[in-house]
Amino acid sequence: MLVDIKGKDVLTTQELSVDEIKAILKLAKEMKKDRFDKKFNQLLKDKTFLMFFFNPSLRTRISFEAAATELGGHAQFLEPKTMRLKKTSQGVEVQAGETIEDAAQVLARYAAGMGIRILETSVKHYGDGNALLREYARWMNVPIINMADDKYHPCQGLSDVMGMEEHRGDLKGKTVLMSWAHGALARSYCSVHENLLITSRLGMNVKLAYPKGYDLPEEEIAKVKKNCEMNGTKFEIINDPYAAYNEDVEFVYSRNWFGPDFYEIGKEAEIARARKMTDWICDQERMDRTNNALFIHPMPVDRGKEVTDEVASGPNSIITDIAENRLHTQKAIMAMTMAGLKVKI
């Protein structure tokens, strides 16, 4: 089967077919193996990829710029503070009075694709960031790639499972534990949602552990449950910091995320609350109860809070491999959506 996603927006892996996910991962692995091969290094020759950053980044900006360069193209950095943005009552941004419809159609004449990064601190209500991406996608006739919004982070989810497959092979029937952890960063849902969605799509059993009061949005949990039902796999929610670590677990993802009332109470109140729940941390004692589980994380890691140094820097940590994979999965997405490279699976 030949997979063709030329011109397709990548806003969340949940909106990609399983075959499209497999094709992206297959190409990313090939690109990682033959990183500077001439068959890839001119795919975006003379083409520009726009990067629209409402929020700063380390891995995302560097990996996308490197991806464009290694494909023979150019990545151009844009940030709202240099573009005189203002908010509408609907929470959607416009540029100095110019509608997204007008701006998007002009930008599409300049570039072969555009990435947008807009997290919770840049929007007033949950979902506003994702809505902005969809508004640009509505009007642009070139691919929009989600570089992380307040709901989803598809490039991170793809990089997670790429690393998981590299170390443990086929993921079907294996179990991933997603556990909340205390910390001082008040993190958004996007990487958590994406991992839950893509692992359940690919036939994994999913355990979700968090203290009461840290429920994830029900609409996303409903999708994860449906994915598991379609694959005949298990989905379980546990409100205990220890019980979820057992011999079934082969991957552990321990990460802080904010509570549902974050947009009302604000970042400082959320951090003060989360810091108190020190029992919620991934340590070696808990990892020893698993099936030799690998530790995964999107980074940056809040060491000593989300996870101990012993685990994060230990032999079962694959966090650096996953971080590297951001480059390769993004190259694959750009090659397929912007250059029209087809992949046989």
Q: Are residues 174 and 306 located together in one domain of the fold?
A: yes
CA dihedral 295, 299, 302, 307 (to 10 degrees): 0
Q: Are residues 129 and 180 located together in one domain of the fold?
A: no
Q: Are residues 235 and 338 located together in one domain of the fold?
A: no
Q: Are residues 27 and 109 located together in one domain of the fold?
A: yes
Whether the pLDDT of residue 91 is over 50: the answer is no
Q: Which two tokens stand for residue 323?
A: 């971080």
Whether the pLDDT of residue 289 is over 80: the answer is yes
Q: How many structural domains are present in the chain?
A: 2
pLDDT of residue 131: 94
The CA-based angle 176-179-180, given to 5 degrees, is 155
Instruction: Quote the CA–CA distance of 179 and 280 in Å, as a whole number.
Output: 8
Q: Are residues 60 and 203 located together in one domain of the fold?
A: no
Q: Which two tokens stand for residue 21?
A: 């996910």
Q: Are residues 125 and 190 located together in one domain of the fold?
A: no
95-147 residue pLDDT tens = 556 788 888 999 999 999 999 999 999 998 999 999 999 999 999 999 999 99
Could you tell me the CATH number of the domain that includes residue 273?
A: 3.40.50.1370
Q: Are residues 244 and 214 located together in one domain of the fold?
A: yes
Q: Are residues 299 and 336 located together in one domain of the fold?
A: no
Residues sharing a CB contact under 8 Å with residue 213, sequence separation 6 or more, in sequence order: 259, 260
Q: Are residues 310 and 161 located together in one domain of the fold?
A: yes
B/e letters for 58-81, b = 16+ CB within 10 Å, e = fewer, are ebbbebbbebbebbbbbbeeeebe
Q: Are residues 149 and 188 located together in one domain of the fold?
A: no
pLDDT higher at 78 or 82: 78
240-252 residue pLDDT tens = 999 999 999 999 9
Whether the pLDDT of residue 160 is over 70: the answer is yes
Q: Are residues 213 and 292 located together in one domain of the fold?
A: yes
Q: Which domain holds residue 338?
A: 2-153+325-344
Which bin fits 214, alpha (ψ -120 to 50), beta or left (φ > 0)?
A: alpha
Q: Are residues 108 and 122 located together in one domain of the fold?
A: yes
pTM score of the predicted model: 0.95
Instruction: Quote the CA–CA distance of 29 and 163 in Å, as a whole number.
Output: 10
326, HSE (Cβ side, Cα atoms, 13 Å): 24
